[in-house]
């Protein structure tokens, strides 16, 4: 019985080591707001908002480029970015950006950082956003389905 338990333990360690080396583990790690802001301030990467164009126009983090995760041209547009550069992505709450990040890793992007909690967390922590002239805090409160 001990040999069986040790065998499983060794197998688990080997699988974990393999996944770590291939980049499969860490594919869903999100950055906290201070780290994400620091990366933006230091111009560490390319800032991408993966929400819909309407959400982007309504309110966004200044300097972000909009590439809609749900858009038909997402892969075509994302492939135009340099895969060796750091890509900083966000959405409303982090869900769409997490899915976009996984897809980007599959497409060969080396370093994609998702803002954990999305723009909602960003605002909750007092970070600035660029707003539409018609912006109202109570409008679009529900956000996009699935994010």
For the chain, the domain total comes to 1
State the sign of the Cα–Cα–Cα–Cα dihedral 126, 123, 114, 47.
Answer: negative
Contacts of 103 (CB under 8 A, 6+ apart): 75, 78
Determine the average pLDDT of the residues in 27-37.
Answer: 84
Examine the pLDDT at 129 and tell me if it is beyond 50.
Answer: yes
**Range of lowest pLDDT (18-32, 38-52, 106-120, 125-139):** 18-32
In a domain, 61, yes or no: yes
CATH number at residue 108: 3.40.250.10
In a domain, 10, yes or no: no
In a domain, 34, yes or no: yes
In a domain, 143, yes or no: no
d(CA 87, CA 61): 14
Nearest alpha carbon to residue 135 among 27, 56, 48: 56
Q: What is the structure's pLDDT at 137? A: 72
Neighbours of 64 (CB within 10 A): 21
d(CA 62, CA 119): 11
Active site residues: 91
Decide if 93 contacts 51 (C-beta within 8 A).
no
Cα-based angle 24, 27, 54 (whole degrees, multiple of 5) = 145
Residue 106 belongs to what domain range?
28-131
119-143 per-residue burial string, b: 16 or more CB within 10 A, e: under 16: bbbbbeeebeeeeeeeeeeeeeeeb
In a domain, 8, yes or no: no
Structure confidence by residue, pLDDT tens digits, 52-66? 999 999 999 999 999
Q: What is the structure's pLDDT at 140? A: 55
Q: What is the structure's pLDDT at 143? A: 54
Structure confidence by residue, pLDDT tens digits, 83-121? 999 999 999 999 999 999 999 999 999 999 999 999 999
End-to-end CA distance of the chain: 46
Q: What is the structure's pLDDT at 74? A: 98
In a domain, 15, yes or no: no
Determine the average pLDDT of the residues in 34-50.
Answer: 96
Examine the pLDDT at 135 and tell me if it is beyond 80.
Answer: no
């Amino acid at each position: 019985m001990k040999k069986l338990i040790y065998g499983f333990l060794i197998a688990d360690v080997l699988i974990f080591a393999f996944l770590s080396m291939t980049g499969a583990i860490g594919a869903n790690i999100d950055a906290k707001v201070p780290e994400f802001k620091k990366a933006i301030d230091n111009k560490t990467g390319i800032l991408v908002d993966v929400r819909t164009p309407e959400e982007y126009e309504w309110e966004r983090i200044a300097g972000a480029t909009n590439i809609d995760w749900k858009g038909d041209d997402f892969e075509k547009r994302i492939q135009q970015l340099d895969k060796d550069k750091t890509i900083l992505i966000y959405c409303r709450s982090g869900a769409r950006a997490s899915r976009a990040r996984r897809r980007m890793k599959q497409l060969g992007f080396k370093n994609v950082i998702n803002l954990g909690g999305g723009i909602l967390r960003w605002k909750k922590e007092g970070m600035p956003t660029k707003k539409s002239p018609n912006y109202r805090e109570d409008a679009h409160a529900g956000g996009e389905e699935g994010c």
